[in-house]
Each structure stands twice: as C-alpha cells, then as structure tokens.
Structure 1
C-alpha cells in the first residue's frame, strides 16, 4: 500500500528567533502552542479549522476520479469543504469523505454498492427510494421475505488511510412488523486476493464472540461473530459492527477487505429489514 506524503508549513519557529532579542511571554506561549498543534495535527489527512495549511488526504486524487459530479478546485477552501461533506462515487453506490476531526478517509457503501442475495427477485426484495436527511434521494433495499439472507461487500484497502484502526459497520432498520429473526445473524470479515466474495463454512458454534479461522500460515484470514437482532430497537437505524481492521502497510493493493451479514442456518423466513449500507470509518478511541 502506498504511503501518504506528509507536509505542513508553520508561520512560527522558535528556533529561528534571535537569542539576543527578548522574547515576549505572550508571543512565546503563542509560538509554543502553534508548535504543539503542528505536532498533534500532522496526519495523513485534512484537519478542519487548523491554522496550519491542511494536508491533502491519502489517495484522494485517485478516489475522486470516480466522483458522480465535478469537483470544484477553484480554491483549497472549496475543495476541502467538498471532501469534508462527502463525494458520491459510482452513480451513488458509494460515498467518500474525510473525517473532520482526524483527517482520515471514510467510506459508505450504499445498498446499490453491496451484493445482496436475491435482491433482483421482486418477491424477495424491493428497491425503494427515500429522502434521507443526510444523503438526499437514496435507493435502499427493503427485505420482503427471504430464507437465505446474505449481504456482502468489499473495498480496496489502499483507499483507506494507512496505519489506522477501522471498524466496518452495517446500518439498517427493522420495521415493527419484522419477523423471523429468532436466530442470530453471522458477521464476517476477511481478506481475499479477488473482489469476489466466497462463502464460508460456519461449522464452529459461537455466540457474541469473535472466531478466527486460518486458511494458511500467518494471521487469521477470517474473523466472524454472531449477534442477535431480537432485542434491537424497531423503527430506527441500527449500527452493527461486522469487524475491525488495521490498515498496516504490509497489505497488498491486490487484496480486498470483504465483509458479510448472513443468516440461513435457522431456516426461518425473515422480513421487515431496510438496508442502508455499510460504513468503514476510523474507530474512535475510548
């Protein structure tokens, strides 16, 4: 994975001051604060509200080549404002933005950007258009009824900011009349050489704990857990963590981060789910 170039300019430098010239205490405190800020905000991304010239985010030029609308580059302020608020990609299948607090890349894969079993069968799923307060007009996949549920997605890890812990989160809603969710759903994350998602055997019995499976030598290739939806609130958005990944420099650009939400072992017919998408975002420190 390529590394992001880091750079910043500071208008003050204590080392450049004349040692023979008395230094005003207020000036010294101001300069010291500026240097401290430079140290804490030296990140591979844009930092909102920084007095230091912002640093362009990791890989942003390649990412916005797939933007649905032209990007205004007439000024840095306008460019940064767009990247902070978000840019839609691939006919609104994805959204890319830069977190204002950390300056790190974030991605949202909407329903249209996911691979959903039976989604084009009208008796099982329905595509509905909603006015979302954050995204405007947005198509979402609504589950009518299905026995074998599987919602897959993948992303090239080179698009994410390096050396960062990310969480992969499914965002969906369960209607009041939702049925068939007596069995827990299975959440999986893995790396693969191809973008194609391969189904995994779920032989181990586990509940609310991560299971790591080795396909070869080295670190685990697959991580999975189960989560019950029975006690989840109805009629509001639910966030369900599918996994966490650390974007180490050793990841090959050819590999993809793959993730899935599934439930087909119970045999129940499930209904009443509205899938908004999956967000990949830096995990906040507690």
Structure 2
C-alpha cells in the first residue's frame, strides 16, 4: 500500500552512439565501409556533424539525394532497443530493417501489456508508457474503491484501465530505470487520465511528486506501511530538494476527454544510477473522490519551446 513500483532494468550500460567517416575523397573508410562523398577540395568535409535536435553525431547526407549513407535511426538507438524488446509480448518482425523500425516507431507492448516502448520517429529517442497495470495504485484491488475496465482505446486497442469508484486517499505510484531511456536527454513524466461527467470531489488540487531513489531503497520502502510519510519535500545541503513537488487542479479540467498532467521533468545523466520515482496524490481535505479513469504515465522527450 502506497508503494513505489519498481520498473525493469536493462543489463547494458548507457553510451553515446554515433559514427564518423573519414578518409580521402572517393575512397571507402576501412572501419565503416562508407564511401566518402566528393566535395570541394578547398572545403573540409564535415563527416561527423552533430544533430542540433538530438546532440548525436550522424553521417552527412548525400548532397544530391539528401539521404544518409546508413540508417540514422539505427545508429541512434541500436545500443538500446535489443535489450528492451526482449520483454515484448509479440514476436518482432526482423525480416528487414524497414519492418523492424516501423514496428519500433509504432510501439511494442511489454510484460503482458503493462508497458509500451517506442522510438520517437522525429528524434530517434526512446519513449515509454506505463499503463495502469504497470503502476502501484492504493486500494486498486478492493472492488469498493476501484474497478478494472476493459476499454477500447483508439491508440492502444483493448486496454485494461483502472477506474476510481470512490476514495478519500488517492495515491498512484510508479518508477522507471532511466537507463532504459536515451542518455543526455531532458524527459518529462506525464499522467494520462480522464474524468467522467459525474466526477466529484476534485475541489482540492492533486500533488505530483518526483524523486531519484536507489533500487534497493525502493524495495525496502515498499514494505513500510508509513511509506507515504516519506513523500515530503526534503532539502539536502544547499542543492535542489530531494523530492520535487507540484500541484495541479483537476476541478477545472474538461470532462469526458483525455487530459495530461505533467508530474515533473529530469535529465538522463548516465552517471546517476538511480530509479526515477513518481507519484500522484490527492488527500487534502479528506474529501471523497470519484470518476477518474487512469490510462497510465508517459516518459517522453521534452519538446523545445
């Protein structure tokens, strides 16, 4: 009760992926096998320019066709996706790279559809969705308070979602290993939920919390009945708070449609070997709440404003 669910771990270490081509004009690079494009001998070739959107080094495009010598997406994600899709619910089509990456772009369900993984087609960065079944929800197995609904979703097909019947203490927790995400990227954590027309009890805002925590500490805390008391804003030294919190009002949100609540954001630093924990809580005022449908939580790269 009140636990921070532990996500799955990847066994590989993070690292930046890119490749550089070098050599004389018209010759093939011995390491990559790529042919160096003809160019003005007075102008040095830029064969390892950095993509301004992702920060990764990629091969220059052919000046005539605008195409890259090899799949840019493959080089951006090949260090990661093979380990992640080992947990795929259905077979992966590897008959061609086009079919493989088309499947990865559209999304792959993991661990009995508790999670979804996909590669953002524009940036080549990893994204995750933790559905209701992949979260830890207080009282979710008590039919007096929550119900599992099989919903026909336009994006996910038939998907089990948790529907709130009534609670006075709302708490939805989860965690993910940032090593599953693309390195050196600013991510945001977003709750996807819906309020039905009869929803009530949302006059007080909900509290959204994020923190980094050791995997071992997650397992210990999940066994403590006083776990919710740990979710307080604690400052360590003069740095940022150990737990970051923000409040959001649901009372003024539209009914009957999916809404997004940003729980927080964080930068994926390979040097930080901790899980990111997140929580949505609603217990101020002790009012009973009802009418919330929880789809899940998305981890996606934050778009530049």
Give me the TM-score of the superposition, normalised by structure 2. 0.77
Residue 212 of structure 2 aligns to a residue whose secondary structure is: strand
**Which one of 12, 15, 18 corresponds to residue 4 of structure 1?**
15
Counterparts in 2 of 1:149 and 1:84: CA distance versus 1, 3 Å: same
Counterparts in 2 of 1:280 and 1:226: CA distance versus 1, 3 Å: same
Match status 1:107 vs 2:128: yes
Residue 78 of structure 1 aligns to a residue whose secondary structure is: helix
Residue 61 of structure 1 aligns to a residue whose secondary structure is: helix
Paired position in structure 1 for 2:255? 234
Q: Report the Cα distance in structure 2 between the residues aligned to 1:44 and 1:217, rounded to whole angstroms.
A: 36
**Which one of 9, 25, 32 corresponds to residue 16 of structure 1?**
25
Paired position in structure 2 for 1:98? 119
Paired position in structure 1 for 2:4? none
**Contact 2:205–2:248 under 8 Å retained in 1:** yes
Counterparts in 2 of 1:99 and 1:178: CA distance versus 1, 3 Å: same
Task: Please give the root-mean-square deviation of Cα atoms over the aligned residues, in Å.
Answer: 2.8
Counterparts in 2 of 1:44 and 1:7: CA distance versus 1, 3 Å: closer
**Contact 2:19–2:57 under 8 Å retained in 1:** no
Gaps of 5+ in 2: 1-11, 28-37, 59-65
Alignment of 1:116-155 (within 5 A): 116-155=137-176
1:211-232 per-position Cα deviation (integer Å, ceiling 9, x unaligned)? x632578553210011111111
**Could you tell me how far 1:50 is from its partner in structure 2?**
5.8
Alignment of 1:161-200 (within 5 A): 161-194=182-215, 195-196=218-219, 198-200=227-229
Give me the TM-score of the superposition, normalised by structure 1. 0.82
Match status 1:51 vs 2:68: yes
Match status 1:213 vs 2:234: yes
**Contact 1:149–1:264 under 8 Å retained in 2:** yes
Gaps of 5+ in 1: 19-26, 204-211
Count of residues in correspondence between the two structures: 260
1:67-99 per-position Cα deviation (integer Å, ceiling 9, x unaligned)? 111112222111111111111000000000010
